[in-house]
Amino acid sequence: MLLRSVKSANRRASTSTDRRFLLTEETIVKIPFGSKVLDAVLSVPDKILPYAVVLTHGASGDMNCCHLISLAKYLVSHGFLCLRFTCKSLNIIYRTKAYKAVVEYLRSSDAYKLSGIFLGGRSMGSRAATSVTRQADQDNDSFIQGLICLSYPLHRPKLQAKCRDEDLLFIKSPVLFVSGTADEMCDQRLLEDIVVKMKAPMKIHWIEKANHSMAVRGRTMDDILLEVNVQVLSWIREIIE
């Protein structure tokens, strides 16, 4: 269900863009979810590649957190349709169901002819994306092309023994992890030990000295987010080309 569109023709989505693509429209949408709706924004380039990227936030914040906005604008500037959405529940099962509703919304859309989508999220949002990807792989759903985990919350702070790897070990689709080496919720050695056991093709990009919020003393957030964005775009291109 469309709510309104905000036109932004002739405006660059990022200082580092592919000149073939411009961000021409951001559309606010309401996605049906049971008896409720999910607030979302579709960022649309003027020339759309047949792939989309879905992004959602962590346990706090919403779809307008700087990490998601920056990544969405960067990907759109290179031709990818991006949908970011808000779901503020702290229940991972509820968050996963909401994510599935978003996937089905894009799958059934007549407005965009998509060959596939990449599921992504930050922190808790990446856990929900991981659960949806696991189910899609079990169902041999080729619409899901890969999984993007930004600051995946592998464990609670100082509780490395209680590892959240239950979905990761069963995923078959390609996975990209982008995390900080100082992330208090993703011990570097623990994640590296887990990915060795995974069935999926995977890549880890470590942001040196970054914490769970991707903050690094002495670096601007814009600089860090650009590093993240470049890694995500490069990985997606490796998958689809």
Share of the chain above pLDDT 90, in %: 82
3-state secondary structure of 168: helix
Residue 7 domain flag: no
Number of domains in the chain: 1
Q: Is the pLDDT at 11 greater than 60, yes or no?
A: no
The yes-or-no verdict on residue 4 having pLDDT over 80 is no
Expressed as residue numbers, the domain containing 74 is: 29-240
Q: Is residue 17 part of a domain?
A: no
Q: Is position 235 within any domain?
A: yes
Question: 18 lies in a domain?
Answer: no
Question: Which tens digit of pLDDT belongs to each residue from 222-240?
Answer: 999 999 999 999 999 999 9
Tokens of 30: 């309401």
The answer as to whether 159 is a domain residue is yes
H-type helices in the chain, by residue range? 66-76, 92-107, 124-138, 188-195, 221-240
Cα–Cα nearest to 146, from 106, 173, 177? 173
Mean pLDDT of the chain: 90
pLDDT (tens digit, 9 = 90+) per residue, 175-224? 999 999 999 999 999 999 999 999 999 999 999 999 999 999 999 999 99
Average pLDDT over residues 153-174: 93
Model confidence band, residue 1 (pLDDT cutoffs 50, 70, 90): very low
Confidence (pLDDT) at 113: 85
Q: Output the domain CATH number for residue 115.
A: 3.40.50.1820
Q: How many CA atoms lie within 13 A of 166 on its CB side?
A: 9
23 found inside a domain? no
- 10 versus 173: which is more confidently predicted? 173
Assess whether pLDDT exceeds 80 at residue 8.
Answer: no
| Band (10; pLDDT cuts 50, 70, 90) | very low
Residue 174, domain member (yes or no): yes
pLDDT in tens, 38-64: 999 999 998 889 999 999 999 999 999
Classify the phi-psi angles of 16: left when phi > 0, otherwise alpha if psi is within -120 to 50, otherwise beta. Answer: beta
Q: What tokens appear for 100 in the block?
A: 């599935």
Is the pLDDT confidence value at 142 over 70?
A: yes
Q: Is residue 21 part of a domain?
A: no
DSSP H/E element including 84: strand 81-85
Name the phi and psi angles at 54, rounded to 5.
-105, 135
